[in-house]
Structure 1
């Protein structure tokens, strides 16, 4: 695969809901993507509040089983059948899942140290997580993997923390299942930039 420019990589990123349990790159290469993002993606006040958990093999499947078990208790049977099918075909069918967390202790410490910005630090923390999500998502796709971003928190938080002994101060933000794409993902419509960008000079 020819190396893409940063702009090309961003343009090519898509949500993939048809993925299988294979990977064109090694587990070490996947881990390197996470390590690179956690090292180089910026954060407000250099907080470095993002935390990542990489689930592969049986851990990946265990995660989505937890999601299904939780939803089965909450949804009517007819709705759960469709949800179960989506999870099994679009998420659990993949090679792995990345869990994105934010360390609440870091956020609270910043709130204590900089009272004028107290209300903003949780917002900036979410923005920090979003930057990590985009960076990892783009690098995964540039490596031949397809991913999507899911949000089953806070329904699953307690079970996830208990299953993998996650520190209580790590707040779950999002989940990113990934695997080898089975088909191309359609490009979603975009608003014209004339409506979304203003320039003054």
Structure 2
């Protein structure tokens, strides 16, 4: 008997060949993303994860900002490859921006000083859980995605472009779209190096 959760986790891969050939309505995509984030656990039920879901020109704007920012810092002789990679993300159907609400993190640090040094790490754990949940939920709908990290280089421009709260700290970007080419074979380390079971 197969486990449906694990079967969907197997579908979650880093898809870099994205397209706009998505048949799922935008409203259903938004609902899927929002529910996956909503149901993802966070320490103290702190709900520190924020997500901005972008389509069309708004999604393109993210990758325009990334390209413009990197062009200023990447050596000219290397930029063609960088530009090609960014174009592959822009080719997708949309982008999700993931943030941590630092006001909540700092509030918890103040309210629970005994655990203060852990709340930033716990917020990252919550973010990772939400990202995997969204990624897997999209994969279950036949939509490909990958997780990118151009922060903090683009943080101020993104906050300004979308008029976002300054206490939302950008942590990752997830371009998504139709799967135009499958991911390659995934290699796994030996189980004996990863797991310990005591019966």
Question: Cα deviation per residue 1:46-104 (whole Å; 9 max; x = unaligned)?
Answer: 0001000001000011110010000001111111111001110x201100000000100
1:48 aligns with 2:54: no
Q: CA deviation at 1:23?
A: 1.2
**Aligned 8 A contact 1:18 1:181 in 2:** yes
Q: Give the 5 Å matches for 1:99-138.
A: 99-138=97-136
1:28 aligns with 2:41: no
Secondary structure of the corresponding residue to residue 155 of structure 1: coil
Unpaired segments of 5 or more residues in structure 1? none
Q: CA deviation at 1:188?
A: 1.8
The RMSD of aligned alpha carbons is: 1.0
**Aligned 8 A contact 1:14 1:187 in 2:** no
Moved more, 17-26 or 137-146: 17-26
Partner of 2:16: 17
What is the distance in 2 between the residues matched to 1:182 and 1:5?
24
Partner of 2:188: 190
TM-score by length of 2: 0.96
Could you list the structure 1 runs, at least 4 aligned residues long, displaced by more than 6 angstroms after superposition.
none
* Count of residues in correspondence between the two structures: 197
Match of 2:173 among 164, 175, 180: 175
Moved more, 145-154 or 177-186: 177-186
Unpaired segments of 5 or more residues in structure 2? none
**Aligned 8 A contact 1:24 1:145 in 2:** no
Secondary structure of the corresponding residue to residue 178 of structure 2: strand
What is the distance in 2 between the residues matched to 1:199 and 1:141?
30
1:86 aligns with 2:94: no
Secondary structure of the corresponding residue to residue 118 of structure 1: helix
